[in-house]
Amino acid sequence: MSKIKCAIIGPGNIGTDLLYKLLRSTVLEPVWMVGIEPGSEGLARAREMGLKTTHEGVDGLLPHVQADDVKIAFDATSAYVHKANSDKLNALGVMMIDLTPAAIGPYCVPPINLKEHAGKREPNVNMVTCGGQATIPMVYAVSRVQAVKYGEIVATVSSRSVGPGTRKNIDEFTRTTAGAVAAVGGAKQGKAIIVINPAEPPMIMRDTIHCLTEDAPDQAAITASVHEMIAEVQKYVPGYTLKNGPVFEDNRVTVYLEVEGLGDFLPKYAGNLDIMTASAARTAEMFAEEMLAGRLRFEPAAA
Amino acid sequence: MDLKGVEIKVHDMSLRDGMHPKRHQITIEQMQTISRGLDEAGVPLIEVTHGDGLGGASVNYGFPAATDEEYLRAVIPGLKQAKVSALLLPGIGTVDHLRMAHDCGVSTIRVATHCTEADVAEQHINLGRKMGMDTVGFLMMAHMIEPQQLLEQALLMESYGANCIYATDSAGYMLPDDVRARVGLLRDKLKPETEIGFHGHHNLAMGIANSIAAVEVGARRIDAACGGLGAGAGNTPMEVFVAVCERMGIKTGVDVFKISDVAEDLVTPIMDFQVRIDRNALTLGYAGVYSSFLLFAQRAEKKYGIPAREILLDLGRRKMVGGQEDMIEDAALTMAKERGLIQA
């Protein structure tokens, strides 16, 4: 069966981990890795794995897009350059999956709204943040049972798994995540907190989700919904585990999770990064299936 | 050591760190009354926000009686000489909160990170300095790393624009030699114009001794809470510290009797319980656990039947850092399951 060809922009930890996942896909074929440093280890690694590479950024990829039939690109760089990358590739008919917190396209959290995106022909979808991918399915698991007036998530990650981009702009994490807790999770108001823990050996990502329901929570229905949603996420992140809860106290519903990664390129404790790359790969696969079935096509803009 | 004539700035914590033992329920009126008392007694700098800093209002840390903005707008105009500071923990609060605080008239912003994570404070320290604020880098749980590592983090904060760096003993774990080693190294290696501060907790009754040790090796800003109202067994009690300074000839500019009246007449009466070194507060200091975990652990003890001390020791062993209040109920649930107290 033919596969949909992809490019990864950003040969760092995230881009490389994503590459490992795409290499296993039955519908996606990674063909280009794009960086900006000639001596990049990530580019060298991608070359060893058979990809074409450029160190001239997205501009180095553009001349090859049509000849190599690239249909989907993943941006694993930073929010600052994402829009420029996206505009250039969209113009050539390439769909963009955004792993930065730029959030210029609609948020995508696979078990919640992936199917909805499939029919919409959006040229750019955003993967929110690692904390968002880990927690928003739980907010939704409550809000699909009954109205949630306030959703709050606390993501605690190992210091070793937080890169310089996130550190330089940690506010973007809290803002983007809080926005998506409301927009995708279905809470009327959203709040996000991130805590970085330097313990050694590194701690596995922990996530706590607090929802305040409008009326007294239907405990049985919420508990069932939470378990169902966990099973959905486990399809692409097997280490997504309920540690405690749901706990009910008045109108508070709290779920305690641990997210262990697959350990593809990144260590297992970095479940926060794994859930991003796994969600992005899952999203791209669904779009690829639509493309292969002839239901989704993006045309290059008229020259 | 002769400290006669040394001038220091004391910074009151009762209306910020003191929010922890009050479950963030200090009323606007109480804030106004106490801050005016502190002002009148000569305290030059008073911190006002949610206990977990700007934006701390949450299920995780507790919803306060009023918003940060309401507190700040109510307190600042009533002060004659004292300035007001606000705390901000990146990951909880954002630059939007910082702008709001600046707009309310806050003159000092203290950007707090865990002692190894200074680089998440860059954008907030940059902005504070750019807006012309007295900008402080606040390195929490400083007992968890060696002095040399603390210095590396302090240098980062200094490079972002902080004009004052704190060694913060969030767990009340340090002994005077620990303080001297850390504060002394910061004083030696940071720019001479960068001020050094120390923030203590009284969990092992070392608040005063540690603060004096910090002054000996060059700290010129000392945090203390009037009436000792702060997390755990409270902060260094302000009125006692001021009295000790007076005896030693250290100049604080604060009147001993006036500040002890504020403690007695205004702060003590608002306490929900006596803030003191009970067995759980002692455990914080003994095991090196973040002081604001105290009430959460006590509530978990009530709900799940696991002694607070055991919960705190577990959190200490797992090297939890400030902000991980969510892990307290989680730990209690896990222990209760293991002990067959609740269904797994």
Q: What is the pLDDT of residue B257?
A: 98
pLDDT of residue B120 exceeding 50? yes
Q: What is the pLDDT of residue A303?
A: 43
CB contact under 8 A, A195 and B116: no
Using alpha carbons, list the distances in angstroms from residue A182 to A53, A107, A176, B334: 39, 11, 10, 30
- The stretch B133-151 carries a mean pLDDT of 98
CB contact under 8 A, A171 and B122: no
Q: What is the pLDDT of residue A1?
A: 65
Q: For residue A195, list its beta bridge partners.
A: A156
Q: What is the pLDDT of residue B309?
A: 98
User: How many alpha carbons lie under 13 Å from residue A110 in its C-beta half-sphere?
Assistant: 25
Using alpha carbons, list the distances in angstroms from residue A277 to A101, A141, A235, B78: 14, 22, 14, 53
Q: Name the stretches of chain A with pLDDT < 50.
A: 303
Q: Which residues contact B178 (CB under 8 A, 6 or more apart)?
A: B143, B169
Instruction: Give A170→chain B minimum CA distance, Å.
Output: 6
Q: What is the pLDDT of residue A301?
A: 62
Give the E-state strand segments of chain B in sequence order: 9-12, 45-47, 83-88, 108-114, 134-140, 164-168, 195-199, 221-224
Q: List the single residue in A with minimal CA-CA distance to B316.
A: A199
Residues of B with CB below 8 A from A256's CB?
A: 326, 329-330, 333
- The stretch B323-329 carries a mean pLDDT of 97
- Nearest Cα neighbor of A85 from A29, A7, A187, A163 is A7
C-alpha–C-alpha distance, residues B124 and A41, integer Å? 32
CB contact under 8 A, A245 and B333: yes
Task: Please report the residues numbered 176 through 235 in chain A whose beta carbons come closer than 8 angstroms to any beta carbon of chain B.
Answer: 191, 193-199, 203, 206, 208, 210, 212
Residues of A with CB below 8 A from B117's CB?
A: 159, 167, 196, 198
Amino acid at residue number B224: A
C-alpha–C-alpha distance, residues A187 and A59, integer Å? 40
Q: How confident is the prediction for chain B on average, in pLDDT? A: 98
Q: What is the pLDDT of residue A42?
A: 94
Q: How confident is the prediction for chain A on average, in pLDDT? A: 94
Using alpha carbons, list the distances in angstroms from residue B163 to A45, A201, B138, B192: 43, 34, 11, 10
Instruction: Give B249→chain A minimum CA distance, Å.
Output: 41
pLDDT tens for B269-311 read 999 999 999 999 999 999 999 999 999 999 999 999 999 999 9
3-state secondary structure of A207: strand
How much is the pTM?
A: 0.95
pLDDT of residue B341 exceeding 60? yes
